[in-house]
Structure 1
Amino acid sequence: MNPDASRLWRAPRWALSVLLAGLGMLGPFSIDTYLPAFSGIAAALDATPVQMQQTLSAYLFGFALMNLFHGALSDCFGRRPVVLTGLAVFTAASVGCALSGSVGHLVFWRTVQGMSAGAGIVVSRAIIRDMFPPADAQRVMSQVTLFFGVAPAIAPMVGGFLFVHADWHSIFWFLTFVGTVLFVSNWKLLPETLHRSQAQPFHVGALMREYGRLCSSPKFMMLVLASGVPFNGMFLYVLATPVFLGEHLHFAPQQFFWFFLCTIGGIMVGAAFSGRLAGKMSPKRQIMRGFRIMTAVSLVNVVLNLSVPLSAWWALPLIGIFSFGWALMVPVVTLLVLDQAPERRGMASSLQACIGSAANGLVAGALVPLVMHSTIALAVTSAGLMMVGLVAWYGVRRSVAA
């Protein structure tokens, strides 16, 4: 923790949460906004469904790749320069997407978008731990998750509105506007939270050794898997929304927001509960409570998909409750991950985000195309991804304070 933290931010704590949530929401916002326009973009650029899926997987793999470096660079050069550079590149990439005349150009600029969007979410986690002790950090992490949930909830509504009333280019011009606003806001308000005594020298060899140490730590890797992989139990449905909502539930693009209201509503409520439990419930108990909720929902989801006709009345609330369980436990697990390397929290956050984003990219590029045309396959795959996280948590839970 920065010893000068009390002097760096004198405004209310919630205001810092809003600023950091703006950074954290940029990645998912860039995904959700253009999903309702998938078919329109494909028609305009003469792209196949596989090529359109590549615009999503390219973004996610670019996100994963650069996440490996954002936090480590912020440990060396400071949090603020990395955040501002990421926002500047994201804004430029959004302009490139808006001007794309072919699906190849769109894939390229989406990759650049992904590579830059991760700076905010990775560095914001390190900033929280720079500024607050554990219990307060959990509350702020929960507040960030809560505010962060608002953007993906409205993103598909904004994207659907822009697509219907303008065209698909306007979606990326809107993202350009968002990037510009965030850049100006952070330029004016974001303090440098890395204390000079905690800055690490920039040596490639030393960075690689530290990465090797973290990757060889069973506890670190299990905690990363426990926090990141279960998210894909819900994210699987987000990635499959054009098919899941359009073909299976017969939703029009303007109706996609119902799905996102359920998922993001679950995240927001779960994050709010997580913040309230900070300091009142042990980390182990809170994490177990989240996994129990996700396990129960996954089993119910599989059984209903096998036994009754699909209906939005039960399918969407179940995904929302799953999201609630994930948001209840993930702020706690994230702080446990960061505390595995207290002198290199930026690097720990980078590696966590990289592994989680790589899992997201694998799900987007490999699993979703295989299972999205069957609701039973979607339900079983979602449960399987949750089980990966549950097994990882059981592998490390004995070493976590009761």
Structure 2
Amino acid sequence: MNPDAGSLWRAPRWTLAVLLACLGMVGPFSIDTYLPAFSGIARALDATPLQMQQTLSSYLLGFAVMNLFHGALSDSFGRRPVVLWGMVVFTLASLGCALASTIGELVFWRTVQGMSAGAGIVVSRAIIRDMFPPSEAQRVMSQVTIFFGVAPAIAPMVGGVLFVHLDWHAIFWFLVLVGLALVVANWRLLPETLHKSQAQPFHVGSLMRGYWQLSTSRRFLLLCLASGIPFNGMFLYVLAAPVFLGEHLQLGPTQFFWFFCFSIGGIMGGAWLSGRLAGKIKPRHQIRHGFLIMLLVSLLNVALNLLLPPSPFWALPVIGAFAFGWALMVPVVTLLVLDQAPDRRGMASSLQACIGSAANGLVAGVVVPLVMHSTLALALASLATMTIGLVAWIKVKHEVGYATGPQES
């Protein structure tokens, strides 16, 4: 934690949470705004469904690759420069998407978007831990998740309106404006939270050794799996939204927002409760509650898909309940991940985001195309991703020394 943290941000704590949430919203806005226009973009660029799916997977893979560097660079050069340059590149990439005339160009600029968008969410996690002790950090992390949750609920509505009343290019012009707004806001408001005494020298050899130490840490990797993989139990529905919502649930482009209202409402509710529970119950108990909710909801989802025809009246609330369970536990697990490397939290955040994003990219490019044409297959895939995270957490919980971790010391 920065010893000067008290003097860096004198405004109310929630205002910093809003600023950091705005950085985190770049990711969901980059994905959710253009989903309602999927079919329109495909027609305009003469692209196949598989090629359109690659505009998602290329974004996620670009996000994963650069996430290895955003946090590590911020450990050496400071949080503020990495955030600002990331948002500048994101704005330019959004401009490239808006001007794309072929599917190849769109895939390329979507990759650049992904490579730059991660700067906000990765570095914002390190900023929280720079500024707050563990219990306060959990509350702020939960507040960030709440505010962050508004973006995916609004994004598909904005994208649907822009697509219907203008065209798909307008969606990416909108992202250009979002990027410019974030550049200006962070230039004027975001302080440098990395204390000079905590800055790490930038040496490639030292960086690679740090990554090797973290990537060979069993505890670190298990915590990354526990925090990131269950997210795909909900995210695969986001990635399959054009088929899941449009074909299976028979919703029009302007009705996609109902899906995001339920899913993001679940995230916001779980994050709010997570913040309320900070310091009141043991972190491992809170994580257990979140996984129990996800397990029960996943089993219910499979059962309903076996017994009933697809319907938004039961499918959307189930996804929202799953999101609630995930958001209840993920702020706690994320802080445990960062505290595995207290002197290189940026690096830890980078590697965590990289692992999670690589999993997201794999789900987008491989899993979703295989299961999106069956609601039962989607439910089973959701259960499988949740189970991976649950097994990882069970292994962490039974390791010697868990109870003396930074969160509970």
Q: TM-score, normalised by structure 2?
A: 0.98
Distance 2:208 2:217 in 1: 14
Partner of 1:18: 18
Question: Deviations along 1:333-376, whole A, 9 cap, x unmatched?
Answer: 00000000000000000000000000000000000000000011
Query: Bigger CA drift: 382-391 or 310-319?
Result: 310-319
Question: Amino acid of the residue matched to residue 107 of structure 1?
Answer: V
Give, in angstroms, the shift of residue 400 of structure 1.
2.6
| SS of alignment partner, residue 202 of structure 1 | coil
Tell me, yes or no, if the aligned pair for 1:66 and 1:115 is still in contact at 8 Å: yes
Partner of 1:328: 328
Partner of 1:82: 82
Question: Amino acid of the residue matched to residue 313 of structure 2?
Answer: W
Partner of 1:284: 284
Query: Does 2:95 match 1:95?
Result: yes
Distance 2:80 2:113 in 1: 19
Question: Deviations along 1:273-302, whole A, 9 cap, x unmatched?
Answer: 000000001110000000000000000000
Partner of 1:129: 129
| SS of alignment partner, residue 343 of structure 1 | coil
Partner of 2:256: 256
Partner of 2:64: 64
Partner of 1:400: 402
Distance 1:62 1:171 in 2: 20
Partner of 1:226: 226
| SS of alignment partner, residue 344 of structure 2 | helix
Partner of 2:149: 149
Question: Deviations along 1:51-89, whole A, 9 cap, x unmatched?
Answer: 101111000000000001000000000000000000000
Tell me, yes or no, if the aligned pair for 1:97 and 1:172 is still in contact at 8 Å: yes
For 1:207-246, list aligned pairs within 5 A. Answer: 207-246=207-246
Give, in angstroms, the shift of residue 260 of structure 1.
0.3
| SS of alignment partner, residue 100 of structure 2 | coil
Distance 1:368 1:128 in 2: 33
For 1:223-372, list aligned pairs within 5 A. Answer: 223-372=223-372
Question: Deviations along 1:164-219, whole A, 9 cap, x unmatched?
Answer: 00000000000000000011000000000000000000000011011010011110
Give, in angstroms, the shift of residue 28 of structure 1.
1.3
Query: Does 2:167 match 1:167?
Result: yes
For 1:32-43, list aligned pairs within 5 A. Answer: 32-43=32-43
Structure 2's unaligned 5+ residue stretches are none
Distance 1:27 1:204 in 2: 28
Distance 1:92 1:68 in 2: 21
Distance 2:402 2:251 in 1: 44
Partner of 1:201: 201
Tell me, yes or no, if the aligned pair for 1:129 and 1:137 is still in contact at 8 Å: yes
Distance 1:27 1:276 in 2: 26
Question: Deviations along 1:216-265, whole A, 9 cap, x unmatched?
Answer: 11100000000000000000100000000011011000000000000000
Distance 2:149 2:281 in 1: 23
Question: Amino acid of the residue matched to residue 400 of structure 1?
Answer: Y
Distance 2:90 2:389 in 1: 31
Question: Deviations along 1:358-400, whole A, 9 cap, x unmatched?
Answer: 0000000000000000011000010000000000000101343
Question: Amino acid of the residue matched to residue 122 of structure 2?
Answer: V
Give, in angstroms, the shift of residue 308 of structure 1.
1.5
Tell me, yes or no, if the aligned pair for 1:30 and 1:175 is still in contact at 8 Å: yes
Distance 1:380 1:150 in 2: 28
Partner of 1:114: 114
Tell me, yes or no, if the aligned pair for 1:284 and 1:400 is still in contact at 8 Å: no
| SS of alignment partner, residue 137 of structure 2 | helix
Q: How many equivalent pairs are there?
A: 402
Query: Does 2:181 match 1:181?
Result: yes
RMSD between aligned alpha carbons?
A: 0.6
Divergent runs of 4+, >4 A: none
Question: Amino acid of the residue matched to residue 95 of structure 1?
Answer: L
Distance 1:229 1:129 in 2: 22
Tell me, yes or no, if the aligned pair for 1:87 and 1:183 is still in contact at 8 Å: yes
Structure 1's unaligned 5+ residue stretches are none
Distance 2:53 2:369 in 1: 8
Distance 2:310 2:201 in 1: 56
| SS of alignment partner, residue 149 of structure 1 | helix
Question: Deviations along 1:15-62, whole A, 9 cap, x unmatched?
Answer: 000000000110111000000000000000111111101111000000
Distance 2:179 2:151 in 1: 13
Distance 1:113 1:236 in 2: 20
| SS of alignment partner, residue 47 of structure 2 | coil
Distance 1:214 1:323 in 2: 28
Question: Amino acid of the residue matched to residue 353 of structure 2?
Answer: A
